[in-house]
Amino acid sequence: MFIRYLPAALTILLLPICAVAQSPVARDPQQDIIRLNTNLVVIDAQAVNRKTGEIVSGLKADDFELYEDGVRQDITHFSQDKLALSVMLLIDLSGSVSPVLSEIREGALTALNRLKDVDEVAVMAFSTKSQIVQDFTRDRLKIIDRIGKIERSPVVGQGTLIFQALREASHYMARATNPASRRVIITITDNVSWDYYGYGPSEQEVSDDIIESGSMVCGLIVEGSLSRAEKIFRRDKDGKDIFRRRMSVDPFANQTGGELLKTPSFEISERLAQLIDHLRTRYSLGFTSKRDSTDGRYHRLKLTLSSAAQKRLGDLLIRTKEGYYARQK
């Protein structure tokens, strides 16, 4: 899910295309051009049947109720699978994931065929450090080729620092070539990451950067021997460590309305394609905020089914972003 601002003229011509609502940080002047004179907010959402886990398509604007800071908002723009995608594949090079890079490459080959011609993809690899493997491109074969060469690239480091990698990925999303695209970070990881307290960015710092970038975080969790061993040999029954902090992609996926899929290594191809397919089922909902759109503050969002939709459809899980930072005067 993401937030965007547009000039009034562009809003008329390009709806439902929009630009990201930014927090008060320095920005490229060219980006500022596309977010003037309007408080149009667009969010991204997914509807899931709680009992079956199936994605629900075919919903209409009247099926939703949207609140900002507790105030009901009028949904003025609604679509499904209309906006281009800018996808960052963030690939973990830990001991559980690097042995299956060939499967990830094959999975990417299948999954990228699900994308549209206007969609773009970048690749970043990480362990204790992060490095860009491929800039944003629409060339699918280039992406596949670069993933295949990760094993022959310089060693990034030992260990896995998910927080730092996600923070750097969120910063890099500003380089997406389409300013009106949906920004998605797909993290392929075993989700086993530890760091000593006091080192690296805090969870809040990473969360703020991801939200400010307008990105949604998804996780493809590769279950291997390391992740299984960690569950068995945690230092105490609560999984806590007095010296080190446990890091995972989970809180950022939850905050941004992203999806987490677990997969054994031999199903990576199928699951990655499934995750890409699910991005195409998401809804874009736009509203004109009833508050001051330039206060620079964090605003909470709540998206629910209308009472009529609940009676018709039953209990659905709605995944969407928990909030966003408004731009500042």
Q: What is the pLDDT at residue 62?
A: 96
CB 134 within 8 A of CB 146: yes
Q: What is the pLDDT at residue 31?
A: 35
Class of residue 117 by CB neighbours under 10 A (exposed 0-12, middle 13-18, buried 19+): exposed
Residue range 25-44, pLDDT digits in tens? 343 333 332 333 356 888 99
pTM: 0.80
Q: State how far the Cα of 223 lies from the Cα of 238, in Å rounded to an integer.
A: 20
Q: How confident is the model at residue 23 (pLDDT cuts 50, 70, 90)?
A: very low
Per-chain mean pLDDT for the chain: 80
**Dihedral (CA of 201, 94, 137, 267) sign:** negative
CB 18 within 8 A of CB 180: yes
Of the given ranges (91-100, 105-114, 123-132), which has the lowest mean pLDDT? 91-100
Q: What is the pLDDT at residue 158?
A: 61
Residue range 218-253, pLDDT digits in tens? 999 988 644 444 444 444 445 566 556 778 899 999
152 DSSP assignment: G
Write down how long the chain is.
329
CATH architecture of the region 85-279: 3-Layer(aba) Sandwich (3.40)
CB atoms within 10 A of CB 225: 12
CB 201 within 8 A of CB 242: no
CB atoms within 10 A of CB 319: 21
Q: How do the domains of the chain map onto residue ranges?
A: 8-81+282-325, 85-279
**122 CB-side CA count, 13 A:** 21
Give the residue among 7, 40, 37, 8 at the shortest CA–CA distance from 21: 40
Residue range 270-286, pLDDT digits in tens? 899 999 999 988 999 99
